[in-house]
Amino acid sequence: MDDIALNFNQSSLVVMNVTLAFIMFGIALDLSFEKFRGVLKTPRKIIAGLIGQLILLPLLTYVLVIMLRPEPSLALGMFLVAACPGGNISNFISSLAKANVALSISLTSITSLLAVVATPLNFGFYGNLYEPTHLIMREISLDWIEVIKTICMIILVPIVVGLTVKTKFPKLASKLAKPLEVISMVLFMLIVLGALISNLEQFVACIGGIFLFVLAHNALALLTGYTMGSIVSTEFNDRKALAIETGIQNSGLGLLIIFAFFEGLGGMAIIAAWWGIWHMVSGFTLAYIWRKR
């Protein structure tokens, strides 16, 4: 699996960049001072979410990799997914689950902004710490400045533009926010499905080898978020939001980094792409169960 390289041409990469930027713009339109103010009344929830997402998940992913010993490219994909910020569909799933949506939106926004530093830092640290993946990192010789610039262009800039539109044209932003949330989810699914369909033969050949890794990794992420929620809050809605926020990762960003800087390294790309599908399955399943409660 380490020798597989997936196909993703330059025009597809441009479409992925634009799509991810559009998704982040949509997230920014749904932000409001009132939501932040309500959440900041209990800052321990935000802190717990950030610790779970930015510190514990990458650390526990490293422990999981040591326990499961996947092939190096798969392990590197797991490290990258764990280093990505929360995914945009986490807010939609939190709404379906009747979780604390304001907390979910706040955490998605904050982790997305921090991704400029946190994603390269966590990915670089654990990717180099684990010896089998260190060899790949050394061969690739990543230009970290370019990685940071890419993350800025597809996350930071669209959020700033979105916040500007929200400030100057609040009525327009309010009208666009909800439709863009649905459109963003569809676009995200199209990104993942496009990557899989264009490499269907390789994906079918590899799915059996990566299914359990993604299943275990995603379950670990959900459990980490829920545990952090249990530590800081007695409210079930908060625990649901933190579980969903930690278990739904921006694997689209992961795919972009893989195709832009790792030449579509098969194991990495298949992990990120399958995570993008599986976290929707697990997220919507949990939302259905929790909604009934």
Q: What does the pLDDT look like over 85-110, one tens digit per residue?
A: 987 788 888 888 989 888 888 888 88
pTM: 0.85
Tell me the average pLDDT across 26-44: 73
Structural domain boundaries in the chain: 10-292
Task: Give percent of the chain above pLDDT 90.
Answer: 33
Tell me what pLDDT residue 81 has: 95
Q: What's the pLDDT tens digit per position in 143-184?
A: 778 888 888 888 888 888 888 888 888 888 888 877 877 787
The answer to whether 185 touches 92, Cβ cutoff 8 Å, is: yes
Tell me what pLDDT residue 215 has: 94
Tell me what pLDDT residue 92 has: 82
Task: Give percent of the chain above pLDDT 70.
Answer: 88
To the nearest whole number, what is the mean pLDDT of the chain? 84
Lowest mean pLDDT among 39-48, 59-68, 114-123, 198-207: 198-207
Domain covering 10-292, topology? Na+/H+ antiporter like fold (1.20.1530)
pLDDT at 279 exceeding the cut of 70: yes
**Which pLDDT band, with edges at 50, 70 and 90, does 274 fall under?**
confident
Tell me what pLDDT residue 36 has: 66
Tell me what pLDDT residue 90 has: 86
Tell me the average pLDDT across 56-84: 94
Nearest to 214 by CA among 87, 1, 70: 70
The answer to whether 57 touches 246, Cβ cutoff 8 Å, is: yes
pLDDT at 135 exceeding the cut of 60: yes
Tell me the average pLDDT across 20-35: 74
Tell me the average pLDDT across 211-229: 95
More confident residue, 83 or 89: 83
Q: Residue 82, Cα to own-chain centre: how many angstroms? A: 8
Residue type, 208: G
Tell me what pLDDT residue 231 has: 93
**Which pLDDT band, with edges at 50, 70 and 90, does 195 fall under?**
low
pLDDT at 188 exceeding the cut of 80: no
Tell me what pLDDT residue 169 has: 85
More confident residue, 167 or 225: 225
> Which of 99-103, 110-114, 189-193, 236-240 is modeled with the greatest confidence?
236-240
Residue located via tokens 């996350």: 155
What is the per-residue burial (b if ≥16 Cβ within 10 Å, else e) of 36-47?
eeebeebeebbe
pLDDT at 5 exceeding the cut of 80: no
Tell me what pLDDT residue 141 has: 67
pLDDT at 38 exceeding the cut of 70: no
